[in-house]
């Protein structure tokens, strides 16, 4: 199941980035942490402190606003959000460690991926070993920069609450958004700025609540 979910996520993301939808992929990963929070509460019986619901609801409002102002069903964003959200839930409950689990997942995906590469070669669309050494090194490097974060994610998913994991994942889509707008010059309207600002405010509130909750807990432990 984990292999299937991460395969769908990888394929959608790689296609979307190359097709010029980096901003929409960032929307998908803004939605994903909300799903992680809900999955953690619904399936794993994780509990949020009362004030933690405020940034969660606020982030949901921001994502809904972005979805509405986008003007169409953001199927790329939704596919990325649901596939990676469910992948996080599976990894949270999986019996294997991060290295063994990811090795098994990529092993399962190896033959289908290899078959697709051979098919691409036969129809003249193969890129590896056809576009120069620089391009080949970038393709190999893409595997490295994909694997390392996934190993860290798999390890973190088994060590911290899924709800907390979901909120801190807003860092990744923020960086994707900045790349899309600043590096690749994708359009970004004032209405989108409003939606992203709501989500960023929610993230700041969640971090602030967690910081003060930890300080209060330390004070109580010291008092006892």
Between the CA of residue 153 and those of 35, 51, 157, 159, what are the distances in Å? 16, 26, 6, 10
Looking at residue 51, what is its pLDDT? 83
pLDDT tens figures, 65-102: 887 887 777 889 889 989 988 988 888 787 877 778 87
What confidence score (pLDDT) does residue 167 get?
A: 66
Q: What is the pLDDT of residues 121-145, one digit of tens each?
A: 899 888 888 888 888 899 889 888 8
Give the pLDDT confidence score for residue 97 in this predicted structure: 74
**HSE-CB of 71 using CA atoms within 13 angstroms:** 3
What is the rounded CA–CA span in Å between residue 20 and residue 157?
30
Q: Using 50, 70 and 90 to split pLDDT, how confident is the model at 11?
A: very high
Asked if pLDDT for residue 8 goes beyond 90, the answer is: yes
Q: Is the pLDDT of residue 166 over 70?
A: no
Backbone angles phi, psi at 189, to 5 degrees: -90, 170
Residues 6 or more apart whose Cβ sits within 8 Å of residue 23: 177, 180, 181, 186, 187, 188, 192
- Measured between alpha carbons, how far is 16 from 23 in angstroms, rounded to an integer? 10
Instruction: Provide the pLDDT for residue 163.
Output: 62
pLDDT of res. 107: 92
Question: pLDDT tens for residues 174-203?
Answer: 888 889 999 998 888 888 888 888 888 887
**Whole-number mean pLDDT of the chain?**
84
> What does the domain layout of the chain look like in residue ranges?
2-94+158-223
- pTM of this structure: 0.76
């Amino acid at each position: 199941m984990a292999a299937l979910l991460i395969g769908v996520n990888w394929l959608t993301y790689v296609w979307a980035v190359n097709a010029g939808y980096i901003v929409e992929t960032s929307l998908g990963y803004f939605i994903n942490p909300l799903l992680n929070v809900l999955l953690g509460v619904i399936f794993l019986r994780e509990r949020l402190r009362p004030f933690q619901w405020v940034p969660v609801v606020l982030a949901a409002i921001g994502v809904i606003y972005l979805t509405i102002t986008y003007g169409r069903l953001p199927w790329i964003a939704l596919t990325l959000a649901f596939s990676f959200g469910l992948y996080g839930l599976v990894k949270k409950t999986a019996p294997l460690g991060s290295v063994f689990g990811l090795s098994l997942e990529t092993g399962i995906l190896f033959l289908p991926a290899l078959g697709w590469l051979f098919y691409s070669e036969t129809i003249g669309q193969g890129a590896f070993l056809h576009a120069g050494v620089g391009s080949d090194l970038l393709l190999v490097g893409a595997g490295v920069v994909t694997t390392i974060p996934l190993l860290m994610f798999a390890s973190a998913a088994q060590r911290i609450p899924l709800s907390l994991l979901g909120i801190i994942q807003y860092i990744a889509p923020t960086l994707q958004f900045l790349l899309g707008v600043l590096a690749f010059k994708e359009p970004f309207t004032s209405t989108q700025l409003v939606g992203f600002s709501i989500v960023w405010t929610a993230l700041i509130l969640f971090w602030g609540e967690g910081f003060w909750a930890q300080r209060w807990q330390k004070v109580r432990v010291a008092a006892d």
